[in-house]
Amino acid sequence: MKIELIPAIDIIDGKCVRLTKGDYDQKTVYGHPLDMAQEFERIGYQRLHVVDLDGAKSKHIVNGSVLSRITEETKLTVDFGGGIKTDEDIEEAFRCGATMVTIGSIAVTEPERFMGWLEKYGPERIILGADVRNGRISINGWKEDSSEDLLPFLKKYIDAGVGKVLCTEISKDGTLAGPAIDLYKKVMETYPELHLIASGGVSSMDDIKALDAAGIPAVVFGKAIYEGKINLQELWDWQNV
């Protein structure tokens, strides 16, 4: 079984964008999210990672209507993150059609709330977001670094039932500089049962093949698509040989 391919759509002001290293001042706009989602589906992709960057910044969901359009007008399985801070936010995400949600900051700042969501919705619908900078978890749209070290942070929630983790190396994100393979290998060596989703820095099919060879279960990639570094049809054909 080859690595799971998960294209990403990041949203600001209802538009598909990519940031560099999470910097809102380094933003490139690529068009409408629904158009991109429909193109992914046309080729054959079944998963989609959607991030409400306005929501991450505002600390509440902002682009729920965009999520609704994607889930209503495609059959993609969507995981959604960004701005999910309250019970109302997570309910809105599911109401707007998300199959799964990615939760990062709340797992750091309000662990009891996160545990409550994990129990209520089940680990199949909750992805733990682990955004890493200098070995520590970063929160609130990557604006703040916490005191949580990555591996102990993961252990706490894996022991509580988390099975899926989206791990982003912030220094790589949006740079097309190659993924943090050594970091992901270290995580998988420590927690081999984990469904780890690698994110950040993917610049080519070769990067994805390297992650696959390293035994990483899944990968999220975005900028390489929009900058023409990856041919989506070619990548899909490789995965499905």
- At residue 160, φ and ψ (nearest 5 deg) are -90, -5
pLDDT of 170 reads 84
* CB 189 within 8 Å of CB 178: no
Q: Which residues contact 196 (CB under 8 A, 6 or more apart)?
A: 165, 167, 184, 187, 188, 216, 217, 218
Strands 100-103 and 126-133: parallel
pLDDT of 136 reads 87
pLDDT of 213 reads 97
pTM, whole model, 2 decimals? 0.93
| Buried/exposed code over 143-181 (b: 16+ C-beta within 10 A; e: otherwise) | eebbebebeebbeebbeeebebbbbbbbebbbbbbebbb
Low-confidence ranges of the chain (pLDDT < 50): none
Q: Which residues contact 150 (CB under 8 A, 6 or more apart)?
A: 130, 132, 135, 136, 137, 167, 183, 187
Active site residues: 10, 131
